[in-house]
Structure formats: C-alpha cells, structure tokens
A and B are shown apart, each in its own frame.
Chain A
Amino acid sequence: MDAMVRELSYAQAIQEAMAIAMDMDERVFLMGEDIGVYGGAFQVTGDLVERYGAERVIDTPISELGGAGVAVGAALTGMRPIFEFQFSDFATLAMEQIVNQAAKMRFMLGGEVSVPVVMRFPAGSGTGAAAQHSQSLEAWLGHVPGLKVIQPATPYDAKGMLLAAVADPDPVMIFEHKLLYKMKGPVPEGYYTVPIGKADIRREGRDLTIVATSIMVQKALDAAAALESEGIEVEVVDLRTIRPMDKQTVIDSVKKTSRLLCVYEAVKTLGIGAEVSAMIAESEAFDYLDAPIVRLGGAETPIPYNPELEKAVVPQVPDIIAAARDLVKGVR
C-alpha cells in the first residue's frame, strides 16, 4: 500500500525527515544554535527536543567554527550529526572546518575515513533581514571537491533529500531558502529518499529550457504558466543538486528546446548560471542552440534592507517572463 500523502510545509517536511532519521539510527543527532526549546530560528527543529531530549538535540554556544568542527569530528568517529547553521551567512565563520577539514579529510587520508556530516543552511533574501542574513552562498561550497551541495525546492524533495543526505557517507550541505519554509506540498509519510545528483524536470515544454534552483523553481513555474497563454511552452529543470551536477538532464532538455535560461538568486557572476552555461557550451547541446544562453541572477550588490530594493535585486516572476519571451522571440 502506498504511504499516506499529506500536505506539509517545507519546514515540517524537514523536521519529519530528521525525526525519521533519529528513529532509524541512534547515531543521528542534531546540533545548532537555539534548536532546542527555542525550536530553531525558523522553527525547523520545533519540538524535537521534547521527543529526543537535549542530548540528541544539542544547543551549541554561538560558536559556528567550533560547532561545525565538533560535528565534523563526531562524523569522523562514527556519529551522524545534522548541524544547523542559524543563517547560511554564518557559514563564513565556519569555512575552515567545512572547506579544509570536512571536504578534504577522506582525500588527505587516502580513503581511510569518511565524514558523514549533514549541514543545513537557511539561505536567501526576502525576509527583510538585510545584507548579513540574506545571502545565497551555495556556489561557494559548490566549488569545493569533497562536498555535495543540494537545494531542494519542494517539501517532498526537502524530506527525501535530507534522508538521502543522512544516508550519504560524505559531507552534504543543504541550502534551504527561508521563504520556502512555509510553502506547502504533498509529502508521503514514512521513509523515502530523493537521490542526490539528479535534476528533476518539473514541467515539460518545447520552446525553452529554464534551469532554476531553490525558490527560483517555483518562480520559473509561475512564469511558465503565464507564458502558456502566449503559446510559449517552457520546460523547467529543477537542478536540485549543484555538486555533483546532473549534466545529462540539462543537456537533453536543451537539445530538445534549443534555448537556455538560467535563473538563480545568488549574485549573477561566477555562479551556478555560469557553470550551467559553460557546461552546455562545452556539450553536444551547443550545436542545438538557436539563441545565446541567458542568465538571470542576483544583482552585483549586497541584499538591501528596504523591501522594494530587496525585491529588485533578485529575479522575480515578471523578470523571468520577460527574459523567456525575449529569448523565444529572438529579441536577444
């Protein structure tokens, strides 16, 4: 019998995944700032401390570097920690442990160890938290061999990919857009995984491929729905994992549609759009292109506080519609 499917929020889906992981494996535990009785800054851990106790839902001091290092050390020696950063921006304080230690330890030691740590990063703009609490730094970590970096865009994927991350023997970094936490969607009960490293075609179309990540997936779907009335059929590829990237799904889609638009919230230059564009330019899909590749990314600025400015510096649905329309009509 199929598992019962309910509507859960993205945050509830993550919480359920963490509870299932802890029920299944006593080595799994949670660490982070104010994840206990407070329930986490975004209420993702919620009441888990009541069910699993303070020894498995550990409030850390405000020590991102040390806390991340403790999680790495615990993972190295047999535990399965899930470490929550309060905001993804605080990864900057812990880069040493993530980049020099977690990512490289297996390699440096010739395969003698593995570091099965999961780190969760509430990311992105749109909450009025301004420049130090709104960044999208996933490409920073995506640049580091040894890490796996994922960006689930739906409650279903948030649960399934977190469970896949916990089962993974290597460090997995999960970037969760803060505006997705309240998004609802169908989520089956019980254990299931969504594979790391596989993109998902969220909508099929023949005229244009939009490769989107995280919250931009929903925005791309909204744009695609609007463009349908104009007779433009958009295919939306949810990248889901940025390292290791599912190149084949993107290549196949571009070969079908002959046009590519990359949409992501992080600063446009030197980001995921550059990588996807270059990957297509190097692939057999290049010969199929009928138009230049277009990137829609964040502005070359920190995230501003003022809500109108804040919206203006990241791609919105009208921006995606306009860019897609121009691409298909050959304006560019």
Chain B
Amino acid sequence: MAGASKAVTDSRANLPFVYRQYSAEQLTEVLHKMYLIRRFEEGAEECYTRGLIHGTMHLSIGQEASAMGICMPLTEDDQITSTHRGHGHCIAKGAEVKRMFAEFFGKTTGYCKGRGGSMHIADVGKGNLGANGIVGGGIPIAVGAALSSKMMKTGKVVVSFFGDGANNEGAFHEALNMAAIWKLPVIFVCENNGYGMSTSTARSTGVKNIAERAAAYSMPGVIVNGNIFSEVAEASHQAVARARAGEGPTLIESKTYRHRGHSKSDRNRYRTKEEIEDWMSNRDPITLFESELREFGFIDDKGIEAIRDAVAQEIADGIEFAKASPAPDVRDAGNYVYTEQA
C-alpha cells in the first residue's frame, strides 16, 4: 500500500506508527474492515442461534486488530494460513462477506462450495490458503508455501496465524526450525488469547511469553498488544521487511482476548465474568482504534456512523445472498475428492 504524502507525514511526526504510515482513507478502511469482521461474526452467531447455520463456529470477536494489523503490510499476492478462529483473517485478507456467509450456509456460492464451512474457510484468489481444523496444522504448510516463494523467486511473504494452543504442538517447533535453517520468508503470528479452549497459557505453556520460544530458533520474537492496531501493524511491517529482504522468519506474539467462548459448546467455566467484562469494556480493539482515529483527526462521529451503516447493509445483503443461493446437489457429494481429469 502507498504511504501518506511527506507533508502529511511531517505533521504526524509524533503519532504512533500507522498514523504516519497510512492515509486517512486507508485508516478509515481499516476501521470499516474491523467493523465488518465484528458484525460478520455477530451475524453468523445470530444465524446459528436461529438454526440457519449448523455445525459449530469459533468467533474471533475481540481479536479484530490482530488480524487487520498483521495483514496491513501484505500485498494481494502474499499468502496466509489461518486457524479454526479464522473469519477475521479471511476478511482482513480481502474476502467478501457474502461468499463467507454463503459458505456458512453450505451453499454452492460459498468460498468452498459448501464443503468446508466455517472451519475451512479460504479465499485462494486473495492469498488465503485456508483456515484449518487441526491446531498447528497450517504452520508447516505456511513454511512450505514460503519454500515455494523462495524456490520460484516470487517474492511472496507468507503469514501463518495460529493460537496459543498451537505453540505446544510439535508441528509448531518443527516448522519454526525449518523456516529458520532455510531463512524462509514466513511470519509466525501467535494470537495469544490466553486460553487453548479452557486451558490457560499459564497452565499449558512453560514460558511466560510465547515469543520467547523464538530464541530457540534464532529468530526475532516480538510481543505486541494485539488489541492496538498500530502496534500490531508496526510489528508486521518490520517482519515483512525482514522476510522480503531474505533475512528469514519472525515470531510475533499478539496478546489479545476472545470475548466469546471457544466454540458453541463453551459453558464458560474457566474464566470469570469480571475478566471478560474488563476486556470488553476497557480493551476492545475497535473502541481503542476508533478513539485514536477520532483523537488524531482522521475521522469524526459522522464518518464513524457512515461506516457502521455501510457495514450493517453489507451484512444484511450478505445474509440475503447466502439465503438465496443454491444448495449443492446431493448427487455431487463426491466431487472434489480428486482432480477431475479429462
């Protein structure tokens, strides 16, 4: 993305990173996308409650700044692998919410033609190689994509999103090691929301900060407040620059929180109402970003209202699109197992 002009940049010299780096238009678009993620998930949750969507889903409400901040310096050609909590990553990388809703409704117009659902949402055209139902499953795949980038000299950077739970999977350690020894253009992004399902990182993980594990693989380990968009985007910028320069991988630990439970089966017995309330009231990433934008003069109340209205309309349209879309024919249940050959 293009940076802001020099004159504008000078007037923002004391502002946090993103306000120096990006234009007002780009930054308000970030707010738009953060709302889109939030309202998409609220809409999906409501459709689930009303019985319009079956299965389960893992909501990332509260983690929007992390997805948006990491994806900010990526180009459309750059690639990501995502997680079971991947709706935000998908939207941040450029997906259309109507095709995401269609996938959740199991329709042929969905990104996976109704075969994947929430847990396998992908948008290959925009570089999202897919969410993943296996914790840590996407990490070695991202390293493989980065190996392709290096071997084919495409210049692509690959981001692997995963949660705190994945940092105790063998795949995490094997993948980080290979990325380090081969100096691959990959960024490992651990979105640490404090709990792997019900088990807190304090109970599951032998280091205080997951970023400390980077030292074991001789790569930078960076901790950011995952609820502050500017902090996340700045760390991502540096990691992307390092990757593009051929200097190898970075591990970013983005400390954040999910407002909702792990999935639809969560009875919330492992954290207190006070804890959740504190994160929602005092550290909500959209509220934080919105007040900064307002404070630094990038947007006013009217602008915010316009974004909220536009998002509400997109969500309503997306759900209507999904409802109206055709369901797959049960006779096609065996499609896409193998590549159709002439």
- Say yes or no: B133 contacts A100, CB within 8 Å: yes
Q: How far is the CA of A72 from the CA of B81 in the complex (A)?
A: 13
- Say yes or no: A63 contacts B174, CB within 8 Å: yes
Instruction: Tell me which residues from 90 to 135 in chain B have a Cβ below 8 Å from any Cβ of chain A.
Output: 110-116, 120, 122, 124, 129-130, 132-134
Q: How far is the CA of A79 from the CA of B115 in the complex (A)?
A: 25
- Say yes or no: A100 contacts B137, CB within 8 Å: yes
- Say yes or no: A76 contacts B141, CB within 8 Å: yes
Query: Does B339 touch A at the CB level, under 8 Å?
Result: yes
How many A-B residue pairs have C-beta atoms within 8 angstroms? Tell me.
147
A37 to chain B, nearest CB (A): 16
Query: Does B211 touch A at the CB level, under 8 Å?
Result: no
A74 interface neighbour in B115, B122, B148, B338, Cβ under 8 Å: B148
A101 interface neighbour in B116, B141, B173, B335, Cβ under 8 Å: B141
Given contacts A63-B177, A74-B147, contact A69 B140 (CB under 8 A): yes
- Say yes or no: B141 contacts A69, CB within 8 Å: yes
Q: Mark B12-32, 1 if CB is under 8 A from A, else 0.
A: 000000000000000000000
A-B contact list, 13 entries, CB within 8 Å: A63-B174, A65-B174, A69-B175, A71-B144, A72-B140, A77-B129, A77-B145, A79-B151, A96-B171, A97-B137, A107-B337, A110-B111, A111-B336
- Say yes or no: B151 contacts A110, CB within 8 Å: no
Query: Does B202 touch A at the CB level, under 8 Å?
Result: no
Query: Does A188 touch B at the CB level, under 8 Å?
Result: no
Q: Which residues of B contact A76 (CB under 8 A)?
A: 129, 141, 144-145
Query: Does B79 touch A at the CB level, under 8 Å?
Result: yes
Instruction: Tell me which residues from 97 to 136 in chain A have a Cβ below 8 Å from any Cβ of chain B.
Output: 97, 100-101, 105-114
Query: Does A181 touch B at the CB level, under 8 Å?
Result: no
A205 to chain B, nearest CB (A): 33
- Say yes or no: A106 contacts B175, CB within 8 Å: no
- Say yes or no: B139 contacts A114, CB within 8 Å: no
Q: Which residues of B contact A101 (CB under 8 A)?
A: 132, 134, 137, 141
- Best-buried of A27, A29, A110, A112 by chain B (most CB within 10 Å): A110
Instruction: Tell me which residues from 314 to 342 in chain B have a Cβ below 8 Å from any Cβ of chain A.
Output: 335-341
Q: What are the 4 tightest A-B residue pairs by CB atom distance, in nearest-first order?
A: A73-B144, A69-B140, A66-B174, A110-B113
Given contacts A69-B143, A78-B148, A109-B130, contact A114 B174 (CB under 8 A): no
Query: Does B190 touch A at the CB level, under 8 Å?
Result: no
Query: Does B178 touch A at the CB level, under 8 Å?
Result: yes
Query: Does B206 touch A at the CB level, under 8 Å?
Result: no
Q: Which residue of A is nearest B341, CB measured?
A: A169
Instruction: Tell me which residues from 60 to 106 in chain A have a Cβ below 8 Å from any Cβ of chain B.
Output: 60-61, 63, 65-79, 81, 96-97, 100-101, 105-106
- Say yes or no: B130 contacts A79, CB within 8 Å: no
A29 interface neighbour in B120, B151, B178, Cβ under 8 Å: B151
Q: How large is the interface on B (under 10, 10 to 19, 20 to 34, 35 or more residues)?
A: 35 or more
Q: Which residues of A contact B174 (CB under 8 A)?
A: 61, 63, 65-67, 69
B31 to chain A, nearest CB (A): 30
Query: Does A170 touch B at the CB level, under 8 Å?
Result: yes
Query: Does B157 touch A at the CB level, under 8 Å?
Result: no
- Say yes or no: A109 contacts B115, CB within 8 Å: yes
A83 to chain B, nearest CB (A): 10
Residues on A facing B (Cβ under 8 Å):
27, 29, 55, 60-61, 63, 65-79, 81, 96-97, 100-101, 105-114, 145-146, 148, 169-170
Q: Which residue of A is nearest B111, CB measured?
A: A110
Q: How far is the CA of A76 from the CA of B146 in the complex (A)?
A: 11
- Say yes or no: A100 contacts B112, CB within 8 Å: no
Q: Which residues of A contact B134 (CB under 8 A)?
A: 96, 100-101
Q: How far is the CA of A278 from the CA of B132 in the complex (A)?
A: 35
Q: Which residue of B is nearest A146, CB measured?
A: B337
Query: Does B181 touch A at the CB level, under 8 Å?
Result: yes
- Say yes or no: B336 contacts A61, CB within 8 Å: no
Residues on B facing A (Cβ under 8 Å):
79, 81, 110-116, 120, 122, 124, 129-130, 132-134, 137, 139-149, 151-152, 170-171, 173-175, 177-178, 181, 335-341
| Given A108-B130, A112-B124, 6 more pairs with CB closer than 8 A | A27-B152, A69-B175, A73-B129, A74-B148, A109-B116, A145-B337
Q: How far is the CA of A247 from the CA of B120 in the complex (A)?
A: 34
- Say yes or no: A107 contacts B336, CB within 8 Å: yes
Q: Which residues of B contact A65 (CB under 8 A)?
A: 140, 170-171, 174
B270 to chain A, nearest CB (A): 26
- Say yes or no: A66 contacts B177, CB within 8 Å: yes
B144 interface neighbour in A63, A69, A114, A146, Cβ under 8 Å: A69
- Say yes or no: A110 contacts B178, CB within 8 Å: no
- Say yes or no: B140 contacts A68, CB within 8 Å: yes
Q: How far is the CA of A65 from the CA of B181 in the complex (A)?
A: 17
Q: How far is the CA of A112 from the CA of B177 in the complex (A)?
A: 30
Q: How far is the CA of A101 from the CA of B152 in the complex (A)?
A: 23
Q: How far is the CA of A65 from the CA of B173 in the complex (A)?
A: 10
B148 interface neighbour in A63, A73, A113, A148, Cβ under 8 Å: A73
Q: Which residues of B contact A111 (CB under 8 A)?
A: 113, 335-336, 340
Given contacts A77-B144, A110-B336, A111-B336, contact A70 B175 (CB under 8 A): yes
Q: Which residue of A is nearest B125, CB measured?
A: A112
Q: Which residues of B contact A55 (CB under 8 A)?
A: 151
Q: Which residues of B contact A61 (CB under 8 A)?
A: 174, 177-178, 181
Q: Which residues of B contact A113 (CB under 8 A)?
A: 122, 124, 129
Q: Which residues of B contact A68 (CB under 8 A)?
A: 140
Q: How far is the CA of A78 from the CA of B124 in the complex (A)?
A: 13
Q: How far is the CA of A146 from the CA of B116 in the complex (A)?
A: 15
Q: Which residues of A contact B111 (CB under 8 A)?
A: 109-110, 112
- Say yes or no: A69 contacts B124, CB within 8 Å: no
- Say yes or no: B110 contacts A73, CB within 8 Å: no
Q: Which residues of B contact A67 (CB under 8 A)?
A: 140, 174, 178
A86 to chain B, nearest CB (A): 15
Q: Which residues of A contact B133 (CB under 8 A)?
A: 100
Q: Which residue of B is nearest A114, CB measured?
A: B339
Q: Which residues of A contact B81 (CB under 8 A)?
A: 73
